[in-house]
Amino acid sequence: MSKSLNIALLGNPNTGKTSLFNSLTGLSQKVGNYPGVTVEKKEGVCKLDRKTKGYFIDLPGTYSINSSSIDESIVVELLLNKNNKEYPDLALVIADVENLKRNLLLFTQVKDLGIPTILVINMADQMKRKGISLDIPILEQTLETKIALVSTRENTGLDELKKLILNYRIISNKPLVQINSIDKKYFENLENAFPGQLLYKLWLIITQDANFGAIQRTLISDISKFQTKSKSEIKRLQQKETIKRYQFINSVLKKGLQIDKASATDFRSKLDRVLIHKFWGYLIFFSILMIIFQSIFSWSEVPMDFIDNCFNYLSSVTSNNLPSGVFTDLLSQGIIPGLGGIVIFIPQIAFLFLFLSILEETGYMSRVVFLMDRGLRRFGLSGKSIIPLISGTACAIPAIMSTRNIESWKERLITILVTPFTTCSARLPVYAILIALVIPDGYFLGFSYKGLMLMFLYLIGFLMALGIAWILTTTLSIHSKSYFVIELPNYKIPLIKNVALTVWEKTKSFVEGAGKIILAISILLWILASYGPGENFNQAENIIQKKYPELAEKEIELKTNSFKLENSYVGVLGRSIEPIITPLGYDWKIGIAIITSFAAREVFVGTLATIYSVQNDDNDTIKNKMASDIRKDGKLLFNLASGTSLMIFYAFAMQCMSTLAVVKKETNSWKWPLGQLFFMTILAYFISFLTYQILS
Amino acid sequence: MDWIQGFLVFLSGICALLFLFRKFFFKSKLANKKGCDHNCDCH
Ligand SMILES: Nc1nc2c(ncn2[C@@H]2O[C@H](COP(=O)(O)OP(=O)(O)OP(=O)(O)O)[C@@H](O)[C@H]2O)c(=O)[nH]1
Ligand SMILES: [Mg+2]
């Protein structure tokens, strides 16, 4: 018979819970060097020995079990509800060896809940460098538990940990701190009112903010009758509890922990002084951004051209070698160019994720949060909002989910509403192709115009987010408190493995996710572009021949193709919306691309690629076909004015169904996502209109 | 030969429609169940 154990991974933020979870279960959940990476419960299985399976639950980091934000309340709910099928048989509290004192607060609380608790001291690899030494037997004795000293980075101590887990029954589950000593009388009453219940658990339920959901309702409703103390009294008792716990922890650490300051290097505080400096900090931050945008453009030029040519070649091989017919056309004009429109951006996307994950892993991101906090507060955001705003450069969806660690509902809502303005990786393909088409070559102070334009687009997205946040703060009348505790994590050399994994996973999910949608949309588009209603479509050749009898055969063919396309189903649809978008400088083809890219922004390029190959199937790259398209008034379709206006449109418009769905999920109402959709679209329309009118 | 190609185009069209339909209308019900990766809702 095989057994199974539920094991909860608890601990302060950024102590390496997810790293341990990944090492044990072989999964690859996101790890990052800043607090608040994990915001949801994640599960994984690990075989502990031949007969026992461990079900590990990775949880968001918490400083204590008195929760104040949604991600923390997930932890409390799990620990208080014995009927939950995930209720842990034992808990691992993961502590970071450099911050033991703060970490032990949570440990004593969890242990006092009567759950067998093992203390896992992580980052053992740092001990030598920081001059830390631990007396494990003494600590085990005073904390009445078993301790595993591990390093997930060097993979040490994991086997010992597994052994401790298997023998978890020998761990005492007596409380460490006598909770009734903070107010004898009150707890006596409580004990008499609920005989047989664990005192500390009752106390926790009383102190839990009732807003936070579904903790065993029956218990709570009984307890709320037992309100013999006012709210402020209870707060005072809670503080007393914390002080008691710290007294206990201090006495433990006095015996078991030694730090030799002399052998610790003080590199970190020196670096911090520069990186969060009011002037140098910003300067460094902007220089880093600048370098990133420059390299996204210049490094990926060669691989992108290569990919573009490959797809062309593939198209022509397909159409030349397969038996001719409509399906062959679908392949060579619809599917292959459509997919090419996404694959071509792999180099740029990979570079973007490479830089992002290096910034995260080194610990620099938290310095940016710290740096920005003061400034952001003025706009009604908290320092913690910067993490969604920055990770929104990858994708707005995880970014919006990561707002869960913002305690104040108002700040959280505002962050959710403005995060879609951050330039996400799906906008990058749109910008990249348009910049290549309409922004001239040339340099300003050593920076190429193209790189500068890209940086400008990222900046206006960010500034718009701030501006809207400011407006929302002053207009929304929601009152809620805000706190700010951010700790600066230690600097770490990024693990190449972690970075490579992130880049690989993210790029893969970008291509897979967008790829499937683009494949489907290319197929439908090709069909709609190759068939059409009525005389104009079916008689296209005759009509053109009559109209231009003097033209050569090749010319006639080109004209016929354009005429056919304009009268195909997409053409008819596109031309019906053309009046709305003409003032912005777009034609019906761009209109169709805007509509299809509502499924995902990067579909834009694939859509144009498909439409253009139906119109003109000679072997030219998408970019060249787009560059030579001429409008009715004789100007190039993609010129500085229309191209810039289009980029501005993509910078501000919502254009993403998945984001809407997530906002609905996180705010629990359709009111916010719909409002966001209308507002952003109108805003985008307006600013693009102005841009086009001014530039043309 | 022609009808095979026509049929294949028809088939691809139907599959594409079904896929998009499922993706954007039934996704929310499917997604939550499995413990999916950080980025899974993206697209
Ligand atoms: N030096 C060292 N660094 C580690 C070790 N384990 C994890 N880290 C780093 O610590 C940072 C935080 O790791 P995570 O696993 O994301 O931490 P977490 O506890 O899940 O954080 P939250 O989800 O934010 O609560 C990452 O940069 C890891 O690379 C270790 O054993 N040694
Ligand atoms: Mg984590």
Closest ligand, as measured to the CA of A16:
1
Ligand 1 centroid from CA A201, angstroms: 30
Residue A496 belongs to a domain? no
| Displacement of CA A573 from its chain's centroid (Å) | 35
Q: Which amino acid is at A112?
A: D
A35 lines ligand 1 (CB under 6 A): yes
Locate the DSSP E strands across A14-146: 42-47, 52-58, 90-96, 117-122, 132-134
Q: In Å, how far is B2's CA from the nearest CA of chain A? A: 6
Instruction: Please determine, for the modelled complex, whether the ipTM score is greater than 0.90.
Output: no
Same domain (yes/no): A217, A338: no
- Specify the CATH number for the domain of residue A199: 3.40.50.300
| Two structure tokens written together for A399 | 């970014």
Distance from CA of B14 to the nearest CA of A (A): 9
Q: Flag whether A480 is in a domain.
A: no
Whether A320 and A440 map to the same domain: the answer is yes
Domain residue limits at A521: 516-695
A38 lines ligand 1 (CB under 6 A): yes
**Best residue for ligand 1 mutational test, from A9, A10, A12, A14 (most atoms within 8 Å of Cβ):** A14
Same domain, A26 and A117: yes
A437 found inside a domain: yes
Residue A5 DSSP SS3: strand
The answer to whether the beta carbons of residues A253 and A133 sit under 8 Å apart is no
User: What is the predicted pLDDT for the residue at A538?
Assistant: 82
User: Given an 8 Å threshold on Cβ–Cβ distance, is B28 in contact with A517?
Assistant: no
- Domain termination residue (choose one: A475, A508, A524): A475
Contact A110, A117 (CB under 8 A): yes
B contacts of A395 (beta carbons < 8 Å)? 39, 42
pLDDT at res. A460: 94
Judged by CB atoms closer than 8 Å, whether chains meet at A509 and B2 is answered as no
A326 vs B: CB within 8 A: yes
Q: A353 and A210 share a domain?
A: no
Residue A42 lies in a domain: yes
For the CA of A13, the nearest atom of ligand 1: 25
Q: How far is the CA of A675 from the centre of ligand 2 (A)?
A: 33
Residues forming beta bridges with residue A122, ordered by sequence position: A96
Distance, C-alpha A568 to centroid of its chain = 40
- The reply to whether ligand 1 has any atom less than 6 angstroms from the CB of A492 is yes
| Interchain contact, A509 vs B28, CB within 8 Å | no
| Cα gap A396→A416, rounded to integer Å | 9
Nearest-10 crossing angle of helices A364-377, A346-362: 90
Residues A121 and A224 in one domain: yes
How many angstroms is it from A27 CA to the middle of ligand 2? 13
- Tell whether A260 and A287 lie within a shared domain: no
Whole-number pLDDT of residue A426: 85
**Residue A519 at interface with chain B, using a CB cutoff of 8 Å:** yes
A517·B1 Cβ contact <8 A:
no
Q: What percent of chain A has pLDDT over 90?
A: 18
Rounded to the nearest whole angstrom, what is the distance from the C-alpha of residue A577 to the centroid of ligand 1? 51
Tell how far the Cα of A22 is from the centroid of ligand 1, in angstroms: 11
Of A475, A503, A531, the position where a domain reaches its end is A475
Instruction: Compute, in degrees rounded to 10, the torsion defined by CA atoms A232, A233, A237, A240.
Output: 70
Q: Which residues of chain A have a CB within 8 Å of the CB of B15?
A: 520, 523
Instruction: Write phi, then psi, for A83 (nearest 5 degrees).
Output: -80, -15
Evaluate whether residue A500 is within a structural domain: no
- Chain B residues with CB-CB distance to A30 below 8 A: 38
CB contact under 8 Å between A599 and B37, yes or no, is no
Instruction: Please give the pLDDT value at position B43.
Output: 43
Domain end point (choices A475, A504, A535): A475
Q: Say whether both A254 and A127 belong to one domain.
A: yes
User: In this complex, do B43 and A514 lie within 8 Å of one another by their Cβ atoms?
Assistant: yes
> Which of A60, A46, A51, A57 shows the shortest CA–CA distance to A11?
A60
Across the interface, which of B15, B16, B24 has its CB nearest the CB of A657? Answer: B24
Res A266: pLDDT: 63
pLDDT averaged over every residue in chain B: 67
Q: What local confidence, expressed as pLDDT, does residue B38 receive?
A: 41
Pair A550, A654 in one domain: yes
Sequence-distant (≥ 6) Cβ neighbours of residue A360 within 8 angstroms? A32, A33, A34
Binary contact (B1, A325; C-beta < 8 A):
yes
Contact residues on chain B for A525, CB-CB shorter than 8 A: none
Q: How many domains does chain A have?
A: 3
Q: What is the pLDDT of residue A216?
A: 45
A661 contacts in chain B (CB < 8 Å): 27-28, 41
Pocket test for ligand 1, best of A19, A121, A387 (most atoms within 8 A of CB): A19
Atom of ligand 1 nearest to the CA of A35: 24
A690 CA → ligand 1 middle, Å: 47
Q: What is the pLDDT of residue A120?
A: 94
Instruction: Decide: A34 and A369 in contact? Cβ < 8 Å.
Output: yes
Same domain, A287 and A229: no
Regarding pTM above 0.90, the answer is no
Mean pLDDT per segment of 10 residues, for chain B of length 43 residues? 84 89 64 40 43
Instruction: List CB contacts of B12: < 8 A, sequence separation 6 or more.
Output: A327, A330, A523
- The residue ranges of chain A whose pLDDT is under 70 are 1, 67-68, 208-231, 260-266, 478-488, 617-619
- Do A68 and A112 sit in the same domain of this protein? yes
- A271 within some domain: no
Nearest CA-CA distance, residue B35 and chain A, Å: 6
Q: Is residue A486 part of a domain?
A: no
Q: A52-58 and A42-47: which strand pairing?
A: antiparallel
Q: What is the pLDDT of residue A264?
A: 57
Based on the domain organization, do A212 and A358 belong to the same domain?
no
d(Cα A311, Cα A337) in Å, to the nearest integer?
Answer: 7
Give the separation between CA A55 and CA A44, rounded to whole angstroms: 6
Whether A378 is in a domain gets the answer: yes
Looking at residue A417, its pLDDT comes to: 94
What is the distance in angstroms between the Cα of A651 and the nearest Cα belonging to chain B? 18
Q: Within this chain, do residues A207 and A356 fall inside the same structural domain, yes or no?
A: no
Q: Which one, of A256, A203, A236, lies nearest residue A95 by Cα?
A: A256
